Structure 1
Amino acid sequence: MPDKARNDPHASMTRGERIRAAARTLRTPRTASWVANETEVSVKTAQKYLNQLVEDNVLRKIEQGDQTLYCVDQLMATYREVAALQREHSREELTNALDSLRSKITGWKQSYEVETPGELRASIADLDDADEVETRREVASEWEHLSDRIPVVRAALNEYDWATKRDSISA
């Protein structure tokens, strides 16, 4: 077996699996040609699987000029994430997680005397200590991430009873 195939984790994946894996990581809209190149398949094959993912509400198809672009359907991804949180965690666990997220952000606001991650990033301009600059960058990044998580956890809590009633299997 050639060294490349032995070291490539995608070597054992089918064309469809490679395309699905690549598609789920699309953070910016990409063409079928780009996906085909990344996954080493023909454009026609990439289009076939990408269109299946659009039908399955995993990807969105965007027409931009004469190009068709594909990207992750963030709304559906969020719905799936909310459902996963509801299935994998109790109401109490989700409540504790929400409290923890808010507490961390409140602590950073107090520690750095800022109200937003942007203000924290801007405060870097006044620093000479490289370690403190790096710490503030990391905190700002984490703060942005946690700020994005709060509405998802809140949504899971808001609809917890409704979702668990509908998710139960009646015998």
Structure 2
Amino acid sequence: MTKSPIDGENDPEPAYVERWKEHTTGFDRVRSVAFGLQEPRTAGWIAGEAYVSEPTTRDHLTRLVDLGILVTDETSGGRTYYPDPIYSRLTALRELVNENTAAELAEQAATVQRDIEEWQQEYGVSDPSGLRATVAGEELSADEAQTRLRRADDWMSAKYHLSLLRDAIDHYDTYTARPSASA
């Protein structure tokens, strides 16, 4: 599937799209788009973003669902796809333990915990939802309201990352253990 600009159906694709298509398979592009989703999307939407025909995209998405990488949901707008949260978590854990020592993970966890504590003190709330509530409950400029909403998103991300770090630290020996070969 080729996206074309609104003003010109026959305009060439941007150079980065041509390079992407030249150096990747359709399956790789569909997987890349689907795995990066922040919200459920239809096969048609994914096809457009991946520059792959919709029928081929549907085949690739079915394969990704079968592999446990994506999950689906039936909505009034049709079937949607999004990354499987368990697969995503395990992939992130694998990356953390492969790229860090237990001591490095502990340092990262301490840094993230310190950031969270600073946000708690700065805004006088205990969690991101409390920070979001301050946007509606206080007289704030539009810029300050946006800053607080972005900070709440950062805080949610930090809490998730901290949970990954704690899991990686708690189970580091298990995750990095290699079975011995039998003779």
What's the TM-score once normalised by structure 1's chain length?
0.81
Residue 165 of structure 1 corresponds to 177
Q: 1:82 Cα deviation (Å)? A: 0.7
1:131 and 1:63 mapped to 2: Cα distance? 38
2:61 and 2:30 mapped to 1: Cα distance? 7
The answer to whether the aligner puts 1:94 opposite 2:105 as a matched pair is yes
RMSD value, Cα? 2.7
1:32 and 1:113 mapped to 2: Cα distance? 43
Please give the secondary structure, in 2, of the residue aligned with 1:10.
helix
1:4 is aligned, of 4, 7, 13, to: 13
- Relative to structure 1, the CA distance from residue 134 to residue 155 in structure 2 (aligned partners, 3 Å threshold; closer, same or farther) is same
- Relative to structure 1, the CA distance from residue 112 to residue 85 in structure 2 (aligned partners, 3 Å threshold; closer, same or farther) is same
Residue 83 of structure 1 corresponds to 94
Q: For residues 134-162 of structure 1, what are the alpha-carbon distances to aligned partners after superposition, in whole Å with 9 as ceiling and x for unaligned?
A: 44333222111111112111111111001
The answer to whether the aligner puts 1:74 opposite 2:85 as a matched pair is yes
Residue 139 of structure 2 corresponds to 127
1:66 and 1:146 mapped to 2: Cα distance? 33
Q: 1:17 Cα deviation (Å)? A: 2.5
The answer to whether the aligner puts 1:136 opposite 2:157 as a matched pair is no
2:59 and 2:80 mapped to 1: Cα distance? 14
Stretches of structure 2 that go unaligned for 5 or more consecutive residues are: 1-10
Contact kept in structure 2, 1:78 and 1:152, CA below 8 Å: yes
2:59 and 2:68 mapped to 1: Cα distance? 15
Contact kept in structure 2, 1:127 and 1:133, CA below 8 Å: no
**Identity between Structure 1 and Structure 2 (%):** 28
Residue 47 of structure 2 corresponds to 36
Please give the secondary structure, in 1, of the residue aligned with 2:87.
helix
- Relative to structure 1, the CA distance from residue 35 to residue 142 in structure 2 (aligned partners, 3 Å threshold; closer, same or farther) is closer
2:126 is aligned, of 87, 103, 115, to: 115
Larger CA deviation: 8-17 vs 105-114: 8-17
Please give the secondary structure, in 1, of the residue aligned with 2:177.
helix
Size of the aligned set, in residue pairs, is 169
Residue 64 of structure 2 corresponds to 53
Please give the secondary structure, in 2, of the residue aligned with 1:114.
coil
Q: 1:79 Cα deviation (Å)? A: 0.6
